[in-house]
């Protein structure tokens, strides 16, 4: 499996990383759709929202927590931001490694 986000997790591909811990990582989107456009992903490869399992519930909540922390750091928390998760092709998913978009500014 050749996954660009797994390669970013493994530091085999470059990305502007804003945050990382033992189970997640956040980095700037390469083609920003807003002044702030950050992707928050689990380190483990989960291809789509449909593959989220019962035991991943804490991990998924963790991604949302990181997103709001980054929104605060970026100064967009009070003004407002969007969190977007596209699932499968018709929703516009192009990278099949689960990711939360943080969009704002």
Q: Which residues are catalytic?
A: 99
Site membership for Zn ion, residue 77 (CB under 5 A): no
Nearer to Zn ion, 45 or 74 (CB): 45
Q: How far is CA 71 from CA 5, 43, 102, in A?
A: 21, 20, 8
* Residues ≥6 apart with Cβ < 8 Å to 52: 46, 60, 98
Site membership for Zn ion, residue 5 (CB under 5 A): yes
Alpha-carbon span 48 to 13, nearest angstrom: 21
Look at residue 95 and give the partner it binds from ligand 5GP, Zn ion, none, a contact being a CB closer than 5 to 8 Å depending on partner kind. ligand 5GP
CA 61 to chain CA mean position, Å:
12
Show the binding pattern over residues 34-63: x = contacts Zn ion (CB under 5 A), - = does not. -----------x------------------
Alpha-carbon span 94 to 63, nearest angstrom: 19
Residues near ligand 5GP (CB under 6 A) are: 4, 15, 27-31, 39, 86, 92-95
Nearer to ligand 5GP, 8 or 76 (CB): 8
Q: Considering the complex, what minimum distance in angstroms separates the CB of residue 66 from Zn ion?
A: 17
């Amino acid at each position: 499996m050749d996954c660009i986000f797994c390669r970013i997790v493994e530091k085999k591909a470059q990305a502007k990383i804003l945050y990382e811990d033992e189970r997640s990582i956040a980095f700037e989107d390469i083609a920003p759709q807003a002044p702030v456009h950050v992707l928050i992903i689990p380190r483990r490869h989960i291809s789509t929202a449909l593959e989220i399992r019962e035991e991943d519930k804490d991990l998924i909540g963790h991604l949302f927590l990181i997103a709001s922390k980054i929104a605060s750091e970026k100064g967009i928390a009070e003004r407002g931001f969007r969190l977007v998760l596209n699932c499968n092709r018709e929703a516009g998913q192009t990278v099949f490694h689960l990711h939360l978009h943080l969009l704002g500014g």
